[in-house]
């Protein structure tokens, strides 16, 4: 398994919809293993394929449940389809809705998400898989499928939070420095 560099905001792979996986090959299995390794090295709870520069419609997650911090939902989901409850209108409370992303390192912003979500897709053996949950599980499912649709969580922010997030990204200097990837294993950034 290999820790892969993670694409960060500004990289074109994050803003393009991914393509359905037609066949689960050894290359897909290796990608998934690498994604789990990368997510763990970066201390994340989810990672979409385009976050490591691959345009396949799949993500991995290892996300704690609300009931017990030691009980995680760990899955690789290929060709996920999302269902969700209603998204609350207005500014989300900061204590309930702070969301982060490995592709926007070091930042967290209040993001309105549905309290319940379910994703259906395939596992690595090609069998149907369903992952459903509330709270953090629901947030993770929505966040990762957004990635696969070419959206960042920053795209979901209210106008007030979007302005704050743009300033934070500008202050980090990623786009000005042309930084497109960071390596969670070495904590180094790559420039284009």
d(CA 96, CA 107): 16
Q: Kindly name the residue from 40, 94, 99, 144 that is annotated as catalytic.
A: 144
Say if residue 101 carries a ligand binding annotation: yes
Whether 66 is a known active-site residue: answer no
Tell how strand 98-100 and strand 6-7 pair up: unpaired
Q: Which of 179, 157, 172, 150 is nearest to 49 (CA)?
A: 150
Flag whether 63 is marked binding.
Answer: no
Q: Binding site annotation covers 11?
A: no
Q: CA geometry: angle at 77 spanning 122 and 189, to 5°?
A: 150
CA distances from 60 to 44, 133, 142 (A): 10, 15, 13
Which residue numbers are catalytic?
A: 144
Which positions make up the binding site for Fe cation? 101, 143, 147
């Amino acid at each position: 398994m290999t820790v892969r560099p993670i694409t960060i905001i500004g990289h074109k792979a994050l803003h393009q919809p991914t393509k359905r996986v037609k066949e689960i090959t050894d290359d897909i299995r290796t990608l998934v293993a690498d994604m789990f390794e990368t997510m763990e090295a970066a201390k994340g709870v989810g990672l979409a394929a385009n976050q490591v520069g691959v345009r396949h419609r799949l993500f991995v997650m290892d996300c704690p449940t609300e009931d017990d911090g030691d009980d995680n939902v760990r899955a690789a989901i290929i060709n996920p389809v999302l269902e969700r409850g209603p998204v609350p209108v207005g500014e989300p409370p900061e204590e309930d809705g702070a969301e982060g992303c490995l592709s926007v390192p070091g930042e967290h912003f209040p993001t309105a998400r549905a309290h319940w979500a379910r994703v259906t897709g395939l596992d690595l053996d090609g069998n149907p898989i369903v992952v459903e949950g509330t709270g953090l599980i629901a947030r993770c499912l929505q966040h990762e499928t957004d990635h696969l649709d070419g959206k960042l969580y920053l795209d979901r922010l209210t106008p007030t939070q979007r302005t704050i997030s743009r300033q934070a990204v500008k202050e980090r200097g990623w786009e000005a420095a042309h930084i497109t990837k960071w390596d969670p294993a070495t904590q180094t950034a790559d420039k284009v």
